[in-house]
Structures are given as structure tokens and as C-alpha cells.
Chain A
Amino acid sequence: MKRTGILVLVFTVVFVLAAGGLVSANSTKLTLWTFVHQHARFYQVMTEKWNALNPDRQIELEASVLPYEDMHNKLQIALQSGVGAPDIVDIEISKYPNFMKGVPQFVVLNDVFAPYVDDIVPSRLEIYARNGNMYGAPTHVGATVAYYYVEILEEAGVDYREIKTWDDFVEAGRKLKAVYPDKFMGIVETSAAWTVTAMLAQQGSDLVSDDDQPLIDTPEMLRAVTTLQEMVKEGLLTTCPDGQPDREGGKGLIDQGVVACVIMPQWFMSRYLDEIPNMNGKVAIAPVPVFEEGMPRSLGLGGTGTAITLTAADPDLASEWLAFAKLSEEGNRMIWEDLGFDPCNTALWTNTEMTHNPDNAYNQYFINNVFDVLNEIKDEIVMVRSSSISPAINDYVTTVMLNELFEDILDPAEVLEDAQYNIESQIF
């Protein structure tokens, strides 16, 4: 009896091993780390498509989803020590500059990207490049838009399509307050700088200069934060739990229907669909208000760069797969259809068969079609600068500066002067 049991066990083990051997005989195993489970799903779909097109170069993708901080920290240790890194890795844009310090431990992707670069927004590729070498594949454009809760605005006599400037926005807010004293025109972020960065871009400025200097104590920044602070003082804008819309507290507040407008990148659509169920069918998308008409109405924010590590087992195969998954037309379609992001291949934005598909869940959730808005502002989408000092600037702005401005309502000029000094002391 005992012997039979052992025999069965041995046979099972041999069989399993043999079966494993059969699968891996003509397919290469690639490991991938990401911090977004939707990305992992997307990569699996693209691997299936790759395998169908390349019968002689099969890939077995092993994607692991790790917590955000954890994944970036592990990657940093792995790259620093030269062992333990995956073949392919997703890196969030605000962490990306850290990985460009020193000698980048990633494969240069210029050759494999070459067939696709003409279709892709160039600035999105530049963000993940250093000295002319492309190390990362972008995911989306991340064009900033305004999400309006149409119902309550109409009740207050506001047509969201008429809001063109910040003055219009303030006016609309006052009308809303007259009808709904407990509701707010918008959210002012204290743990992220989406709106502030958008307001800087409208004036042709940014958080960091071309020569890697922090741009905090500037007239453009003063104008942006003063405008926002005045709206906070008037009760038109509110701060939110967790400090920004893309956190639990922020999404909860939006879901309660107390906010008339959320200014966020286009990818925030996916958060509406997944995590803000109460707003289904009530939200319309429009360009962000500007200081003066004629200023650029959008900028690309957020993002994930996918890179191939130098320690990858088969860097050539991994690179080609990556270019296919994220830069090919097929990949870009999936980025919209599966992930709900504005693809970097902007030629697709006018492909109505894709953009106006009535079966698309995103199209069903929102009142108007996002691509109508994106095509309207297409030539106005500015790109955010990213430099080695960006992590230090972001850290101070989103922990100290914005809290002092919008929670403590301190004098903007003094806060900015202080911030500039403190950030400079952090940079070396």
C-alpha cells in the first residue's frame, strides 16, 4: 500500500516535470514587476497576442503585482546590487528620475522603438529617455481634463461648457454655493500637485527649470496658488481626506456627490468606472479652465515607464515584446479599451470605430465622449518636465507647501519663499 503511494507520487512528479519541460521547451519565461493589477492583466493579454503572432518565439510571462513603494524600493536594491531584478519592470513617473541617476541599469530601446516612434507623442518618449537613449515605454498621454458633475451645476444655473477661464469657474462656484451651501466647486490638493502643475503649464512654467533648478518662488506659481487659496477662503474649493482625488478619501468625497468639478488627468476616468459608482451617467468631460483664453488648456500628468533591466535573461526578446505591447497600434488600442487611458499613438484618437464604440464601458459611464475633448485640445497638451531633482521638489510641495497654503491658509508669498529655500537646501 505504502509502496503504491510512493510510486504514484513519483509518477506524478515526473509527469509534472515533463509537462513543465514541454511548455518551456520553445517558450521563454520573462518576469515582470508592476504595482497596478490592471497593468498585469493588460500585459497578459498582450502576451497572448504576441504568442499568436510569433509561434517560434513564445513567451511565458510571469507578472507580479507588488505594492507601490515596496516595488520601487525592491527594484532599487536589486539594481544597486546587481541581483534579483525582474526582466521587465513598470516604474511610476515620479520615481523614474531616481533610476536615471548614475549609469541607468536599463537596456537602451532606440532600435526596437524605431518602427513605432513616428506614431507616438514624442514628449512622452522623451520623459523616459536620457541623453538621446530611450529606456522606457510610456503608457499614456495623461492629458489633464475637467470632470463636471452636470446635474448639480444645471440646478445652479451653470452650463459647464461655458466655463472657459478661472474667473468663469469662480462665478460658477458662487452660483453653486447659492443653491447648495454644503457642496463645493472643486477639490484643492494637498498631497499631490495636479491642479497647481496644470496652472503653471498654462502660464508656460513648471516646477523645475530646463537647467534643473526648482521653480517655486516664481510669479507664475504665486498667481496659481493665490487664485486657488482665494477660492478656498471663499469656500468654493475644499481640501479632502488623504489630500487628493486619487486616494481613498478623495474618491469617497467625489462619490458622495459633494464636488462639482474634479481636475485630473484623463486616466482618472478609470477610477470613476472602478471606484466611484454613484457618479455613473452624471459626469461630463471638458477642457480645464485657463487664466486667459488662448493659454494651453492641458498637460500630460502621471504615467508609468516600462523598462528592460540589464540583467534580463533575454533582453532582445523582452525589448521586442515591450515595443509590441505598448507602442504598436494593437497595444495602443488595448491601452484605451482595456485600461481606459489616452494612448500615446494619437492617430488612434480620430479612429471613430475605436473611440466611439458604444459598447465601451468608459463611453457608457460618461455623458460625452472623452476623445471629442481630447481632439479639441490635442495641440495644446503641454508636457511636464521631469528631472533628477523632481522627487525632492515633489516631496516638499506635497507634504509641506500645499498644506501650509490650503490647510493653514498662510501668506502665499512667504510660503513660496520658504519653500524655495528649503527645497534648495535639499538639492545637491
Chain B
Amino acid sequence: MRKRFAFLYDQKVAPYVFVLPFILTFLIFFLYPVLSTIQMSFQEILPGMISNVGFKNYQRLLGDRIFRTAITNSVLYTFWTLALLIPFPLVLACMLNSRSMMGRGFFKASLFLPVVTSVVVAGTIFRLMFGEVEGSLMNSLRALLGLSPIKWLKVRQTGFAAMVLMACWRWTGVNMLYYLSGLKGIPPEMYESADIDGANVWQKFWLISVPLVKPTIIYVLTISIYGGLAMFTESYMLWAGNSSPKNIGLTIVGYLYRQGWEQNRMGYASAVGLVLLAVAMLINLGQLRLTGVLGKELD
């Protein structure tokens, strides 16, 4: 018995045995699907009829105006979520980290609550809040200001704003927690000596907190870029399906879903997915290089 498992005691072999579960998961659930998607993107796939079509799927993608709408939407959505979800949670985290803040536990919990709320429930509630009937929450608010009701989810600007708002509501808590853990790592002596030097709140935030949580900011930025570009569920739930009026909420993944499932074109959808992969990789690699993370590792 001992002999059969002797290799486990071998210092050269044992590490490979321990990483084997990861390697297997990676190969089966990541590498194989990616390679298979690449292959599928050059095919037309129908039950009992799979044919190679070369670069045709990609050529069609170039002339597809609705795909362009999807890319524009995804990029815009990513931009707005970054613009709002990077700075504001940081400020909130600093406030919650400050000892002079009252009711920290309460605010921490209430800001985190949306994260654990099911997106299906959240989507339904936002859809009702932004309903076009007079009695919907947002239209009641407009009525208080003496304004007439509007069709929030049928107009481009307001529909898009609702989607970004929902993302902020959902993700502020997560980002705030990341920042909080980053802030906790800053030695309190730093702030104490700054106090002695007569630094004000703003200087302490800008010159101590921000530079020291930079690694956390870069991490949050990286996952937010990916999260923004790959967004699908929020839009799907807000409009109770993948079809939003005038494609206001159509994202790249939404388009992939529409082509692959709703119109049974797996090959074309694979091409859409690979374009998303390429865009996300390019933006993230560029951003990581700019912020110096990749450069450092390469040195």
C-alpha cells in the first residue's frame, strides 16, 4: 500500500499531484471550451449539419450594425460603471474606516445588502420602480416635482441610466469591502504622524490612503472592466428578457445570447464571444501595463 503511493513522498512529483485538480479543472472547463469556441467560430452549426465556413462569421460581424450597437452599449456601460464604482466606494470606505463615523456596522451592512440580493429580485424591483405607469415610484417622484410621467425604460438615456444605477446599487458594497480591507492594512501610525505634521483630512486621503490602496484600486478596476464588458443579467432582468426597446440595453453577451440561443446560430455567436474576449483582454492588458502591474512582473 505504502509502496503504491510512494510517489506522493517524492518532492518532485508531489507538487504536481497537488495542483492536479486545478490543472484538470482548467483544462476541462476553460481551455477545452475556449479552443472549441475558436473552432466553432469558423463553422455553421446545426443539428446534423456542421460545415466549415472559414472567416464568414467574422466578415458578417464587420457589417452587422446591431453588433456595433451592442459593443457601444457595453463600452458605455463599462465607462459609466468605472466612473462611478471606482471613486465613490473608495470615499465611502474611507468614511466607514474613520473612527469618528457613527453607526459603522449599520452602514456597512446596509451598503452590502444589495450584493446578497438576488439579481432577479433586484431587476424586478427596478423594473417596477422605473415603470411607465403614473403610479411607479420614479414617476410619483416626478409628480411631486410637478412633472409629467415618462417612459423610463423605453427612452435611451433614462433606460441606460436605470441600468447603470442598478449596477451601482448592486456593486457599491463589494467594491467598498475591497477598499476597506485595503485601508485596514495601512498602519495607523501613518495617520498619527500626519496629524502631528498638521495634515488635513483631504491631504490624509489623497497622500496616504489613495497611494497605499492603489493595488486594491487596480484590482477593482480590472474586475470592473471585465464585469462591465461581460454584463448580461442586469439588462436581461431590467427589461424582463433579452429584447429591450430599440436595443437600449443590448450588450455584447446579450447579442451572443440572441444569436446563439434565440436564433440558433452557434457559430456566429462563438465569433461574437471571441471578439468580446479580445476586447476585454486588450483593455485589461493595456490598463495593467499603464498602472505598472504587468511591467513589474516582467522586470
Binding site for B on A (CB under 8 A): 69, 72-73, 76, 79-80, 98-99, 101-105, 190-191, 241-243, 249, 391-392, 395-396, 398-400, 403-404, 407, 422, 425-426, 428
Least Cβ–Cβ distance between B148 and chain A, in angstroms: 14
A73→B246 contact, CB < 8 A: no
A398→B47 contact, CB < 8 A: no
Given known contacts A69-B241, A103-B47, A399-B244, is B264 in contact with A425 (CB within 8 Å)?
A: no
A residues in contact with B48, CB < 8 Å = 102-103, 105
Partner of B247, one of A69, A243, A399: A399
A399→B261 contact, CB < 8 A: no
B residues in contact with A79, CB < 8 Å = 47
Given known contacts A102-B49, A395-B243, A399-B247, is B131 in contact with A241 (CB within 8 Å)?
A: yes
Question: Could you mark each residue 48-71 of chain B with 1 if its beta carbon is under 8 Å from any beta carbon of chain A, else 0?
Answer: 110000001000100111100000
B245→A403 contact, CB < 8 A: yes
A residues in contact with B47, CB < 8 Å = 79-80, 101-105
A residues in contact with B64, CB < 8 Å = 425-426
Least Cβ–Cβ distance between A270 and chain B, in angstroms: 21
B65→A425 contact, CB < 8 A: yes
B243→A191 contact, CB < 8 A: yes
Other A-B pairs, 17, CB within 8 Å; known A396-B66, A399-B244: A69-B241, A69-B242, A79-B47, A80-B47, A98-B262, A102-B49, A103-B48, A105-B48, A243-B245, A399-B245, A407-B151, A407-B245, A425-B63, A425-B64, A425-B65, A426-B64, A428-B60
Interface flag for B154 (CB, 8 Å):
yes
Interface flag for B204 (CB, 8 Å):
no
Partner of A98, one of B56, B133, B244, B264: B264
B residues in contact with A391, CB < 8 Å = 262-264
CB<8 Å pairs between A and B, sample of 12: A69-B242, A69-B261, A76-B261, A98-B262, A98-B263, A98-B264, A102-B47, A102-B49, A103-B46, A103-B47, A407-B151, A407-B154
> Which residues in window 245-296 of B have CB below 8 A to A?
245-247, 258, 261-264, 266
Least Cβ–Cβ distance between A123 and chain B, in angstroms: 24
B65→A422 contact, CB < 8 A: yes
Cα–Cα, bound, A84→B69 (Å): 36
Partner of B66, one of A76, A404, A422: A422
Give how many B residues have a beta carbon under 8 Å from the other chain's beta carbons: 30
Given known contacts A241-B132, A425-B65, is B246 in contact with A101 (CB within 8 Å)?
A: no
Given known contacts A103-B46, A105-B48, A391-B263, is B63 in contact with A404 (CB within 8 Å)?
A: no
Cα–Cα, bound, A191→B133 (Å): 17
Least Cβ–Cβ distance between A127 and chain B, in angstroms: 18
Cα–Cα, bound, A57→B151 (Å): 57
Least Cβ–Cβ distance between A107 and chain B, in angstroms: 14
Interface flag for B45 (CB, 8 Å):
yes
Least Cβ–Cβ distance between B261 and chain A, in angstroms: 5
B261→A190 contact, CB < 8 A: no
A241→B244 contact, CB < 8 A: no
Least Cβ–Cβ distance between B55 and chain A, in angstroms: 13
Cα–Cα, bound, A190→B243 (Å): 11
B263→A403 contact, CB < 8 A: no
Cα–Cα, bound, A104→B242 (Å): 26
A residues in contact with B241, CB < 8 Å = 69
A400→B264 contact, CB < 8 A: no
Binding site for A on B (CB under 8 A): 45-49, 56, 60, 63-66, 131-133, 151, 154, 240-247, 258, 261-264, 266
A residues in contact with B243, CB < 8 Å = 191, 395, 398-399
B65→A400 contact, CB < 8 A: no
B residues in contact with A76, CB < 8 Å = 261, 264
Cα–Cα, bound, A72→B132 (Å): 30
Task: Report, nearest first, the 6 A-B pairs whose CB atoms are least far apart.
Answer: A102-B46, A103-B48, A98-B264, A102-B49, A403-B245, A102-B47
Least Cβ–Cβ distance between B200 and chain A, in angstroms: 51
Cα–Cα, bound, A428→B64 (Å): 11
B residues in contact with A191, CB < 8 Å = 243, 245
A395→B258 contact, CB < 8 A: yes
Q: Closest residue to B156 on the A side, CB-wise? A: A408
Least Cβ–Cβ distance between B119 and chain A, in angstroms: 16
Cα–Cα, bound, A242→B132 (Å): 9
Partner of A392, one of B45, B240, B263: B263
B46→A400 contact, CB < 8 A: no
Least Cβ–Cβ distance between A401 and chain B, in angstroms: 9
Cα–Cα, bound, A389→B294 (Å): 47
Partner of A101, one of B46, B133, B261: B46
Least Cβ–Cβ distance between A366 and chain B, in angstroms: 27
B46→A395 contact, CB < 8 A: no
Cα–Cα, bound, A425→B240 (Å): 26
Cα–Cα, bound, A104→B47 (Å): 7
Q: Closest residue to B133 on the A side, CB-wise? A: A241
B residues in contact with A99, CB < 8 Å = 264
B residues in contact with A396, CB < 8 Å = 66
A residues in contact with B242, CB < 8 Å = 69
Q: Closest residue to A74 on the B side, CB-wise? A: B261
Cα–Cα, bound, A226→B263 (Å): 30
Partner of B49, one of A73, A103, A241, A404: A103
A residues in contact with B154, CB < 8 Å = 190, 403, 407
Cα–Cα, bound, A241→B266 (Å): 33
Q: Closest residue to A98 on the B side, CB-wise? A: B264
Cα–Cα, bound, A337→B45 (Å): 42
Q: Closest residue to A241 on the B side, CB-wise? A: B132
B residues in contact with A400, CB < 8 Å = 245-247
Cα–Cα, bound, A76→B56 (Å): 23
B residues in contact with A425, CB < 8 Å = 63-66
Least Cβ–Cβ distance between A99 and chain B, in angstroms: 8
Cα–Cα, bound, A101→B264 (Å): 8
Q: Closest residue to B241 on the A side, CB-wise? A: A69
Q: Closest residue to A73 on the B side, CB-wise? A: B261
Cα–Cα, bound, A404→B247 (Å): 11
B45→A80 contact, CB < 8 A: yes
Q: Closest residue to A77 on the B side, CB-wise? A: B261
Cα–Cα, bound, A241→B243 (Å): 14
A residues in contact with B245, CB < 8 Å = 190-191, 243, 399-400, 403, 407
